Amino acid sequence: MKYLCALTIAGSDSCGGAGLQADIKTMSALGVYAASAVTSVTVQNTLGVQAVQAIRPDVVAGQIRAVMDDVAPVAIKIGMVNDRPTLQAIADALRPYHPRFVVVDPVMVSTSGSPLMQPDAVDAFCQQLLPMATVLTPNLPEAEVLAHMPIRSFDDMDEAARRIIQLGCKAVLIKGGHWEGQQKVDRLYMPGQPPRSYEHPTIETRNTHGTGCTLSSAIASFLARGLALPEAVGSAVDYLAQAIEAGKDVAIGAGHGPVDHLFNPEKLIKS
């Protein structure tokens, strides 16, 4: 008997609402044992990011190999990667293991608007990590960067997804959280299939720190639990909406606070 395990490869958030900390909380809340590889340390709080210090690429790769060799996670979530050498190191470290599920969240800009990926790392991201993705989970600004086009409508979203899939990922979930309106709509695109839409009511709150990290790690958790991708995305969207609702009126810090990851935690799943 062993725990069902997932690995998060991401940056550390000193205020605990996003990045590695959000991933570990999410995976744990969904009954999945969370292993981690730290890619960078951020100096940040709910008001923004003041500094980013990348971990040496060989140390990042070493963390990944140590976990893969021993714990053998079922699913992997890749979050914030700050620089080109680290992107290369992650890809090189993972490739020999042929991981079954890889959820890639292209963290390029924080919720507060701070850049989190160096400009020269974007091309390396597209060449090295994106083709490894079971699913890529960009928000609208990130999808615009990857597709080299503005997104102002669902037709634009469809075209952007087509362009991103052509870069080599197996599926892309474009998150519509930046759009105004009474409903938030995320759309999942898989080659040869019509897009699937996931809708939930807009929740009025400033506590949106780490929502992208939370969603991608929830998708990884549900994939590890055996759900097919469309169902994993649907369950993850529902989990995030409930976490936002549960934490919408709670004040943590003076800026964008976190969601309530632990509103209804599950016991660790054993197999």
Give catalytic residue positions. Answer: 175, 208, 210-213
The answer to whether 90 and 24 are in contact (CB under 8 A) is no
Here the tokens at position 94 are 């993972």
Determine how β-strand 183-189 pairs with β-strand 196-201. antiparallel
Burial label for 152, CB within 10 Å (0-12, 13-18, 19+), is exposed
User: Helix 229-247 to helix 211-224 angle, to the nearest 10 degrees?
Assistant: 140
User: CA-CA distance, 194 to 248, in Å (whole number)?
Assistant: 33
The answer to whether 187 and 172 are in contact (CB under 8 A) is no
Residue type, 186: D
Here the tokens at position 22 are 């959000």
